[in-house]
Amino acid sequence: MRRDVFQAIADPTRRAIIGLIALQAMTPNALAEQFDTTRQAVSKHLRILTECELVQQENRGREIYYQLKVEKMKEIDHWLEQFRAIWETRFSQLDEVLKTMKNEQK
């Protein structure tokens, strides 16, 4: 079952996991140490992130390391870019309104 990437990143724990493995690949045990939760709970989050193709597994000996798939994050960033342009335009408009109001008060 393929999950929706936006549902996956809506969870704060999964966003925190993404933030951690963006810096370096980590094992489930190393990730679980960063949270007040069980290794099984972290494994469930990792499974969801893997199903969404946000992270990938790499076997190194007997350990499994998870690392971020940057390409998928770029897809999310590309989707968000359309909204970023709208927000920047609105903030610029707000700046102009505030400047006008400030000048009128003088």
The CA dihedral of 8, 13, 14, 15, to the nearest 10 degrees, is 100
Question: Domains of the chain: which residue ranges?
Answer: 1-68, 70-106
Q: What is the CATH number of domain 1-68?
A: 1.10.10.10
**What is the per-residue pLDDT for 4?**
81
For residue 1, is pLDDT > 80? no
Report the first-to-last Cα separation within the chain, whole angstroms.
62
**Contact at 8 Å (CB) between 17 and 41?**
no
* Residue pLDDT, tens place only, 34-93: 999 899 999 999 999 999 999 999 999 999 999 999 888 888 888 889 898 899 989 889
CA distance 83 to 102: 28
